[in-house]
Copies of this chain bind each other. A is one copy, B any other.
Amino acid sequence: MNTDVNIEEKLHQKAETFAQMMTAYLPKVQGKQKTIFDALSYSLLAGGKRIRPIILLETYQALKEQTQDTVNVNTEPTWFKSLDEIVAKFSVALEMIHTYSLVHDDLPAMDNDEYRRGKLTTHAKYGEDMGILAGDALLNGAFELVAEAFGCVKDIGNSADALTLYDRVSRAYQMLSSRAGMYGMIGGQVVDVERTGSALSKEELLFIYELKTGALLEASFLIGAILSGANQEELIRFIKIAKKVGLAFQIQDDILDVTSTMEVLGKPINSDEKNQKTTYVSLCGIEESKKEVERLSKEAMEELKALKLEHSFLTELVSYLMNREK
- Chain A positions within 8 Å of B, measured between CB atoms, are 27, 31-33, 35-37, 40, 100, 104, 107-110, 127-133, 135-137, 139-141, 143-144, 146-148, 150-151, 153-154, 159-160, 162-163, 166-167, 170, 173-174, 176-178, 180-183, 186-191, 193-194, 204, 207, 211
Q: Can you list 20 A-B pairs with a CB-CB distance of less than 8 A?
A: A31-B187, A33-B183, A35-B194, A104-B132, A109-B129, A133-B189, A137-B181, A137-B186, A140-B177, A143-B146, A144-B178, A146-B177, A147-B170, A147-B178, A150-B170, A151-B174, A153-B170, A163-B166, A166-B166, A166-B170
A191 touching B32, Cβ below 8 Å:
yes
Asked if A174 and B159 make an inter-chain contact with CB atoms under 8 angstroms apart, the answer reads no
- A97 shortest CB reach to chain B, Å: 8
Q: Distance in Å from the Cβ of A83 to the closest Cβ of chain B?
A: 16
Q: How far is the CA of A205 from the CA of B32 in the complex (A)?
A: 11
Least CB distance, A284 to chain B, in whole angstroms: 20
Find chain B residues with CB under 8 A from A177 CB: 140, 143-144, 146-147
A141 pairs with B109, CB closer than 8 A: no
Residues of B within 8 A of A166 (CB): 150, 153, 162-163, 166, 170
Copies in the complex: 2
Checking B35, B40, B139, B170 against A139 with a beta-carbon cut-off of 8 angstroms, the contacting residue is: B139
State how many angstroms separate the Cβ of A165 from the closest Cβ of chain B: 10
Report B-chain residues with C-beta under 8 Å of the C-beta of A181: 137, 140-141, 144
Known: A163-B163, A182-B36. A151 touches B132 (CB 8 A): no
**16 further interface pairs, Cβ-Cβ under 8 Å (given A32-B191, A40-B182):** A27-B183, A31-B187, A32-B187, A33-B183, A33-B186, A110-B132, A136-B136, A136-B186, A140-B181, A144-B174, A144-B178, A146-B177, A162-B166, A163-B163, A163-B166, A166-B166
Q: Please pick, from B109, B170, B174, B182, the residue contacting A132 in the complex, using a CB distance under 8 A.
A: B109
A207 to B31, CA, bound (A): 10
Q: Are B132 and A107 in contact (CB under 8 A)?
A: yes
Q: What 4 pairs between A and B have smallest CB-CB spacing?
A: A109-B128, A150-B170, A33-B187, A147-B174
Q: What distance in Å separates the Cβ of A162 from its nearest Cβ neighbour in chain B?
A: 6
Chain B residues within an 8 Å CB radius of A144? 174, 177-178, 181
Who on chain B is nearest to A144 by CB? B177
In the complex, which residues of chain B have a beta carbon less than 8 angstroms from the beta carbon of A204?
Answer: 32
Residues of B within 8 A of A180 (CB): 140
A191 and B33 form a contact (CB under 8 A):
yes
What's the nearest-Cβ distance from chain B to residue A213, in Å? 15
Closest to A139 in B: B139
The CB with the most chain B CB atoms within 10 A, among A141, A187, A191, is that of: A187
- From A39, which residue of chain B is reached at the shortest CB distance? B190
Is B139's CB under 8 angstroms from A182's CB? no
Give the residue of B110, B151, B176 whose beta carbon is less than 8 angstroms from that of A170: B151
A148 to B176, CA, bound (A): 12
Q: Chain B contacts of A151 at CB under 8 A?
A: 170, 174
Q: Within the assembled complex, what's the spacing in Å between the Cα atoms of A127 and B151?
A: 40
Q: Which residue of B lies closest to A154 (CB)?
A: B167
